[in-house]
Amino acid sequence: MEKKTLDVQGMSCGHCKAAVEGALKELDGVSGAEVDLKAGKVDVTFDEAKVNVAAMKEAIEEQGYDVNA
């Protein structure tokens, strides 16, 4: 398992946290996602054989947030 921290702009509330974590956890290969609203970061645990950072970035951007990976 790989761990990566993504910088995500625009998250400010519990709904934002749930939307981003939910979108990431739906991806095949993502085993964990933890949003830190204050820091604007998301820690993702994933299987790099099944999912890549580009797919995670796209899933977050589809929720309406900007990602600086």
pLDDT in tens, 18-44: 999 999 999 999 999 999 999 999 999
Across 1-69, where does the E strand assignment appear?
A: 2-9, 30-36, 41-46, 66-68
CATH of 2-68, one of 3.10.20.740, 3.30.70.100, 3.90.800.10, 3.40.50.300: 3.30.70.100
| pLDDT score for 34 | 98
Starting from the edge strand earliest in sequence, which strands make up the sheet with 41-46, in order?
30-36, 41-46, 2-9, 66-68
- Mean pLDDT, to the nearest integer, of 4-25? 97
- The domain locations on the chain are 2-68
Predicted TM-score of the model (pTM) = 0.94
Q: How many CA atoms lie within 13 A of 43 on its CB side?
A: 5
Cβ-contact 13, 19 below 8 angstroms: no
